[in-house]
Chains A and B, each alone.
Chain A
Amino acid sequence: MQYVYSLLVLIGIYVTLSASFNLIIGNGGLISIAHPIFFALGAYTAALLGIHFNVPVLVSIVAGMLVALGSSFALSLPSLRISGDYLLIISIGFQLGFLQVIKNIDFTGGAGGLGNIPSVLSGETRDIVFASGSLLMALGVVLLIRWIVRSPYGRAITAMRDDELAFVTLGRNAMKIKLVIFALGSGFAGLAGGVYAYYFLYLSPDQFEILQSATILTMVVVGGMGSTLGPVVGGVLLLALPQAITFLQLPPNVMGPLQGVIYTLLVLIFLFVRPQGLISAARRQT
């Protein structure tokens, strides 16, 4: 039963991650692979606030979200000023550099990881609270993104994707829109991170490395880029997958890479066979 609860928590977290990544990459058209890092920033911030400063859970999770949101500007501001494509390169560097930092300073637990995250509640109450909290978070984020995308703001984003120069010539501040989308998406990732930290109570750098981005990217691409339900479907489906593989009873050092192979292979197949994903976006994607 515990197992089901943690799966539900994970579903909530991953749907949040893929919906927020979809906002950045599917709606905003911004290419970045640093999403796992904002997830990590939120997780570590929330955890460290709890461990060292006894900050209450909810506050530290929100703080994690805000830190992730704020730090996104460190990537977006310098790179978007030049061109949207620089963001990708910076995000690669940030992804790898940030992990280096975490692995090397004691404050964050180093390569060994960060434990001792204060546990809130216990027993089945804990599981129920976290599971429903996580799912509510996912629901909230998905609905919020849906609202934004269907609003006049979403219309502006679409126009920007269609023809940015024409869009800006009309008087629209494309840069601001990109900065905000990136910040929102990253903030949501940070929120998910905080929840992750307080449920699983242990963080380590290899949970957030570059190959994580494959997982999230798979959810978005397979689910359907730019659609509302796509990332939800992608998130649920791709979390169910490893559960299916567990039945094969393979040793752990095979499981990990096998999961990775399946995820990446799925993306490759979908890219060529069904680029719009399982749930196609409402509008044609350019």
Chain B
Amino acid sequence: MSEILAIQGLRKSFGGIVVADDVTLSIGSREILGLIGPNGAGKTSLFNLISGVVLPDAGTIYLQGAPIDGLPLYRRARAGIARTWQNVRLFETMTVMENLLVAPREYGGESVLRILFGGAAVRREQEALRERGSAILSRMGLAATADTLVTDLPFGQQKLIGLARALMNDGPCLLLDEPMAGVEGGVYETIKAIVREEAASGRAVCVIEHNISFIKDLCTRAAFMANGRIMQTGTVVELLSSELFIELYFGT
């Protein structure tokens, strides 16, 4: 199992609030790391630091051995960091397929010159993307929604599309921010299955979740965060039964 994502000594504060306090963590391939902790612990902020939304005050982030903390946001995705958002953030005036089509790591359609003069190559690329997108949608049982406006879908399906969009990145690292929030039943099972598959294919997955049964079911390891610090890491069982966790999570 090789190390995919390594974070060392990450620090970040906004004004007086410390959101990341000397965070050191690593995630290997095929791992599903559960990031748990109370609200305001800095979990989403950590994702923001890794994906590049926010630049750290200190510390380094390595992706497959190469430092990425100096890279601007868009380059981190191209390096292979894909993430989902707590509030999904789909492109609301577009259809499902269109949302997926703008999501791959490299996108030929980003260059005007290529669009004007690339002709056949661009068409081929778009076809290939469409196929990839359809394949992902099929895995989720959502192939039929390809041409639906995302806002016409129920919330659970929108979350799946958010996940699908991240999967288009096809990179080594997948960060999921509360994928289970607000979903249940069939969608829940689908997401679980997909996350398992993605990890099995070699990716490093990190999941922020409050849903303890999801953590128990799926995660190989867990890290407990509070006040911007990683308080404890270990297997899920170890963590969930530790006194520190119970105290900090539920309050005394």
- When the two chains form the complex, which single residue of B53, B89, B98, B109 contacts A151, counting CB atoms closer than 8 Å? B109
Interface majority SS on A: helix, strand, loop or mixed?
helix
A128 at the interface (CB under 8 A from B): no
Which residues from B are CB-within-8-Å of A176? 110
Best-buried of A159, A161, A169, A172 by chain B (most CB within 10 Å)? A169
A123 at the interface (CB under 8 A from B): no
B106 at the interface (CB under 8 A from A): yes
A252 at the interface (CB under 8 A from B): no
* Minimal beta-carbon separation of B54 from chain A (angstroms): 11
**Nearest opposing residue in chain A for B125, CB measure:** A152
CA distance A92 to B91 in the complex (A): 31
Contact B74 A180 (CB under 8 A): no
A160-194 vs B, Cβ < 8 Å mask (1 yes, 0 no): 01110111111111101100100010000000000
Contact A155 B109 (CB under 8 A): yes
CA distance A171 to B85 in the complex (A): 15
A131-173 vs B, Cβ < 8 Å mask (1 yes, 0 no): 0000000000000000110011101101101110111111111
A-B contacts counted at CB < 8 A amount to 101
Which residues from B are CB-within-8-Å of A159? 91, 94, 98-99, 102
Contact B53 A153 (CB under 8 A): no
B33-65 vs A, Cβ < 8 Å mask (1 yes, 0 no): 000000000000000000111000000000000
A158-B91, A163-B91 known; A152 and B109 CB under 8 Å? Answer: yes
Which residues from B are CB-within-8-Å of A177? 110
- When the two chains form the complex, which single residue of B77, B109, B165, B168 contacts A156, counting CB atoms closer than 8 Å? B109
B92 at the interface (CB under 8 A from A): yes
A155-B102, A162-B92 known; A169 and B53 CB under 8 Å? Answer: yes
CA distance A175 to B77 in the complex (A): 15
Contact B89 A166 (CB under 8 A): yes
Contact B112 A163 (CB under 8 A): no
Which residues from B are CB-within-8-Å of A169? 51-53, 73-74, 77, 83
* Minimal beta-carbon separation of B192 from chain A (angstroms): 24
Which residues from A are CB-within-8-Å of B78? 171
Which residues from B are CB-within-8-Å of A286? 92-93
Which residues from B are CB-within-8-Å of A162? 91-94
* Minimal beta-carbon separation of B99 from chain A (angstroms): 8
Contact B122 A152 (CB under 8 A): yes
* Minimal beta-carbon separation of B199 from chain A (angstroms): 21
- When the two chains form the complex, which single residue of B89, B115, B165 contacts A152, counting CB atoms closer than 8 Å? B115
**Nearest opposing residue in chain A for B106, CB measure:** A171
**Which range holds the interface residue count of chain A?**
20 to 34
Contact B89 A184 (CB under 8 A): no
**Which range holds the interface residue count of chain B?**
35 or more
Contact A170 B169 (CB under 8 A): yes
**Nearest opposing residue in chain B for A285, CB measure:** B93
Please provide the chain B residues from 69 to 117 with a CB less than 8 Å away from any CB of chain A in the complex. 73-78, 83, 85, 89-94, 98-99, 101-112, 115-116
Which residues from A are CB-within-8-Å of B92? 162-163, 284, 286
A153-B109, A153-B115 known; A165 and B91 CB under 8 Å? Answer: no
Best-buried of A147, A162, A176 by chain B (most CB within 10 Å)? A162
Contact B107 A156 (CB under 8 A): yes
- When the two chains form the complex, which single residue of B51, B94, B98, B112 contacts A184, counting CB atoms closer than 8 Å? B112
* Minimal beta-carbon separation of B211 from chain A (angstroms): 23
Contact B115 A165 (CB under 8 A): no
Best-buried of A159, A180, A286 by chain B (most CB within 10 Å)? A159
**Nearest opposing residue in chain A for B126, CB measure:** A152
- When the two chains form the complex, which single residue of A147, A165, A172 contacts B110, counting CB atoms closer than 8 Å? A172
Which residues from A are CB-within-8-Å of B110? 153, 156, 172-173, 176-177
CA distance A152 to B97 in the complex (A): 12
- When the two chains form the complex, which single residue of A148, A161, A170, A284 contacts B77, counting CB atoms closer than 8 Å? A170
CA distance A147 to B116 in the complex (A): 9
Contact A170 B112 (CB under 8 A): no
Q: What are 27 A-B contacts with C-beta separation under 8 Å? A: A151-B109, A151-B122, A152-B107, A152-B108, A153-B110, A155-B102, A156-B102, A156-B109, A156-B110, A158-B93, A158-B94, A162-B94, A166-B89, A167-B91, A168-B74, A170-B102, A170-B165, A170-B168, A171-B76, A171-B77, A171-B105, A171-B107, A172-B107, A172-B110, A177-B110, A180-B112, A284-B93
Q: A152-B108, A168-B77 are in contact. List 9 more A-B contacts (CB 8 A).
A: A147-B116, A148-B115, A155-B94, A155-B102, A156-B107, A158-B91, A162-B93, A170-B103, A171-B107
